C-alpha cells in the first residue's frame, strides 16, 4: 500500500528555542538524540527513555559531528576545524584545522559515511557570502582531503545505503547533487544534479532511509521532502516552522523522524506565527531509517 504524508504524524515537540538547531543525530548505541545549536555553541543530548534533555556548552560553535566506534567521544566539526571531542569532560584533540586562519570561514554540515570516514564542508560565515567553502573528508588512512572547492554553504551530506553515492547540497544554489564514490579510496566522481528546490525553499540537512530514499530538510520551505533514488519527489511533510535545518531517523525501531529547526532572522511577528521555531519535531512514520555510522580510527 502506498504511503503518503498523511501517514506521518507529529507526536512530540522537544523544546529548545535554538537560534540554529542543526546536526541532529540518533545514537542507536545509547538510545539518545544529539543535536547542536550552532550560534550558541551548545550541544544537546536527549535521553529517549526518560525524556531528559542535557545541555552541554561547547568550547566553539559546532557545525556537525558523528559517533566514534568504541568511544563516548564525537568526531566534531567545530567552527575552526575537525577534532575528537568528549562532551562531558570538554577534552578536545584536534585532527585538522585547514580553515583556522581564514577570516569568517567555518565548518558546517557533516556526517560519517558507510566506510567510517567523516565528511564536513565549510562556508563563509557572514553575508555577502562568496563561493570559498570546501568539502573535506577525514579518515585514519588518508587524513584530511579536499574534494570540492567553490562552495557557498556546505549542506545535506548523506550517503546511499551501500555507500556508493554521496549526496551534497550547496544551499544557495537550491541544488542537491549526487556523486559516485570510488572505493576503497573514497574519491568522488563528477557531480550530477539529483534534485532542485523552488523558492523560497533551500536544501539544508539530509538523511537516507532504509529504502535508499533521500530526506531533505528545507530552510524557508516549512517542510521535509522525501526523494526517490532517481531524484523524483515522493512526498512532503509540512512543519510548524519555516526554517527546517536537519533530519534524522531514530527511536527504538528507527521509525521516528526527528527534525531540528531555527529561529534566526525571524522577527517578532514571525515568532508569533511560529512559536516552536528552534524546537525539535518528532514524527511517527511508516518508514525506517538506518543506524548512524561510526567513525573508525
266: its cell numbers: 525571524
Q: How many CA atoms lie within 13 A of 111 on its CB side?
A: 29
Sign of CA dihedral 174, 14, 271, 240: positive
Q: Determine whether 109 is an active site residue.
A: no
Task: Find residue 2's DSSP bridge partners.
Answer: none
Per annotation, catalytic residue among 204, 209, 234, 267: 204
Cα–Cα nearest to 167, from 187, 134, 199, 192: 192
CA–CA gap between residue 297 and residue 291 (Å, rounded): 19
Q: Are 237 and 224 in contact (CB under 8 A)?
A: yes
What whole-number distance in Å separates Cα of residue 240 and Cα of residue 214? Answer: 21
Active site residues: 204
Amino acid at each position: 500500500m502506498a504511503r503518503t504524508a498523511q501517514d506521518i504524524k507529529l507526536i512530540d515537540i522537544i523544546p529548545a528555542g535554538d537560534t540554529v538547531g542543526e546536526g541532529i543525530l540518533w545514537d542507536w548505541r545509547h538510545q539518545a538524540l544529539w543535536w547542536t545549536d550552532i550560534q550558541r555553541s551548545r550541544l544537546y543530548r536527549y535521553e529517549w527513555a526518560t525524556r531528559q534533555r542535557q545541555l552541554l556548552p561547547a568550547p566553539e560553535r559546532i557545525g556537525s559531528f558523528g559517533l566514534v566506534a568504541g568511544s563516548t567521544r564525537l568526531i566534531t566539526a567545530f567552527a575552526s576545524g575537525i577534532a575528537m571531542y568528549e562532551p562531558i569532560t570538554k577534552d578536545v584533540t584536534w585532527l585538522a584545522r585547514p580553515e583556522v586562519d581564514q577570516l569568517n570561514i567555518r565548518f558546517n554540515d557533516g556526517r560519517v559515511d558507510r566506510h567510517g570516514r567523516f565528511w564536513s564542508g565549510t562556508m563563509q560565515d557572514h553575508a555577502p557570502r562568496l563561493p570559498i567553502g570546501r568539502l573535506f573528508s577525514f579518515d585514519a588512512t588518508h587524513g584530511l582531503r579536499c574534494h570540492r572547492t567553490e562552495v557557498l554553504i556546505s549542506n545535506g551530506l548523506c550517503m546511499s545505503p551501500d555507500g556508493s553515492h554521496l549526496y551534497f547540497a550547496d544551499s544557495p544554489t537550491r541544488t542537491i547533487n549526487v556523486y559516485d564514490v570510488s572505493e576503497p579510496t573514497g574519491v568522488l566522481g563528477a557531480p550530477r544534479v539529483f534534485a532542485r528546490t523552488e523558492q523560497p525553499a533551500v536544501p539544508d540537512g539530509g538523511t537516507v532511509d532504509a529504502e535508499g530514499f533521500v530526506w531533505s530538510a528545507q530552510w524557508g520551505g516549512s517542510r521535509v521532502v522525501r526523494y526517490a533514488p532517481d531524484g523524483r519527489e515522493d512526498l512532503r511533510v509540512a512543519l510548524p516552522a519555516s526554517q527546517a535545518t536537519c533530519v534524522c531517523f531514530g527511536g527504538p525501531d528507527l521509525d521516528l523522524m526527528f527534525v531540528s529547526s531555527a529561529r534566526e532572522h525571524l522577527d517578532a511577528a514571525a515568532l508569533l506565527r511560529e512559536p516552536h521555531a528552534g524546537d525539535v519535531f518528532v514524527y511517527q512514520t511508516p518508514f525506517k531509517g538506518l543506524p548512524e555510522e561510526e567513525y573508525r580510527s
